[in-house]
Amino acid sequence: MIHRSRQEINQFISRHALLPLFNPDDLEVSKNVIQAAYDGGVRLFECTNRSADAFSIFKQLVPFVEANMPEMVLGAGTIMDEAAAKRFYEAGAQFIVSPVISPDVASFCQKKDLFWCPGASTINEIVNAQNRGADIVKIFPANFLGGPEFVRAIKAPCPWIRVMPTGGVDGSEKNLRAWFEAGVLCVGIGSQLFTREILAARDYKMITTRTKEIVTTIQFIKSTLNQKANAVRS
């Protein structure tokens, strides 16, 4: 199994800036969804631990992804405690996402040099998470917390914080531009990409088309923002 370092994952997420998340409750559907996202340019993918079969499916997804998607970085989400973090890490998870700040998960990830992304909803929680070793902090539900303006507000006194909104990221250029202009490092997107309608129809080509559009849009936005920043510095 592949185990990339925190530094490698940080470089990956900074470069690609998109983390789709999906709840695997059917192995074949999960394989097709991940493959479709990969074909659309996705290189990081979070499998959430929200169903009874999530871990069993994840164990089977790891060798499938390594054999068919060599550039994909597969991680586990909705990890609530150290036991779950250890179980998914040993099964091949290359990063851990949590909805809460768990000191035990933080300690485990540091020991294993494992990328850790906990969830937070206040500036106090975000700074606390980063002080505990979080590589990036997930803001959730980002839309209900104030959207891009919330990010802009918290980054004013703490410009060094690295955040990823999840919830309220719809994949449109207007929406994505608002988040990145506010200062997010990357965005997480789930049900807006893997909609009930798409999954019911098994329309995997649509997932590839949508992810390709989102990936292209994000890279264009990041490029224009970098050009503006360079112009200001010069």
What is the CA angle 65-207-121, rounded to 5?
85
Sequence letter at residue 147: G
d(CA 120, CA 140): 7
Residue 163 lies in a domain: yes
Task: Give a yes or no: residue 201 inside a domain.
Answer: yes
Phi, psi at 166, each rounded to 5°: -135, 130
Q: Where are the alpha helices (DSSP H) in the chain?
A: 6-16, 27-39, 54-68, 82-91, 103-111, 123-131, 148-155, 173-182, 196-201, 204-233
The total number of structural domains in the chain stands at: 1
132 lies in a domain? yes
- Crossing angle between the packed helical segments 173-182 and 148-155, to the nearest 10 degrees: 10
Rg (CA), the chain: 17
Residue 138 in any domain: the answer is yes
Reduce the DSSP state of residue 164 to 3 states and report it.
Answer: strand
Work out the angle at residue 18's Cα, subtended by the Cα atoms of residues 197 and 86, and round it to the nearest 5 degrees. 95
In a domain, 32, yes or no: yes
The CATH number given to whatever domain includes residue 103 is: 3.20.20.70
CB 27 within 8 A of CB 54: no
Q: What is the pLDDT of residue 232?
A: 78
**Pick from 125, 124, 108: which is nearest to 116 by CA?**
108
Strand partners, 22: 47
Cα dihedral: 196, 52, 61, 77 (round 10): 80
Report if residue 57 sits inside a domain.
yes
CB-based contact 136:163 (threshold 8 Å):
yes
Each residue's pLDDT expressed in tens, for the chain with a length of 234 residues: 778 889 999 999 999 999 999 999 999 999 999 999 999 999 999 999 999 999 999 999 999 999 999 999 999 999 999 999 999 999 999 999 999 999 999 999 999 999 999 999 999 999 999 999 999 999 988 999 999 999 999 999 999 999 999 998 999 999 999 999 999 999 999 999 999 999 999 999 999 999 999 999 999 999 999 888 887 777
Tokens of residue 71, six digits: 């550039």
CA distance 119 to 117: 7
**88 alpha carbon, distance to own chain's centre:** 16
**Residue 180: domain span:** 6-233
Tell whether 1 is covered by a domain. no
Decide: residue 64, CB within 10 A, 0-12 exposed, 13-18 middle, 19+ buried.
middle
User: What's the predicted TM-score (pTM) here?
Assistant: 0.95
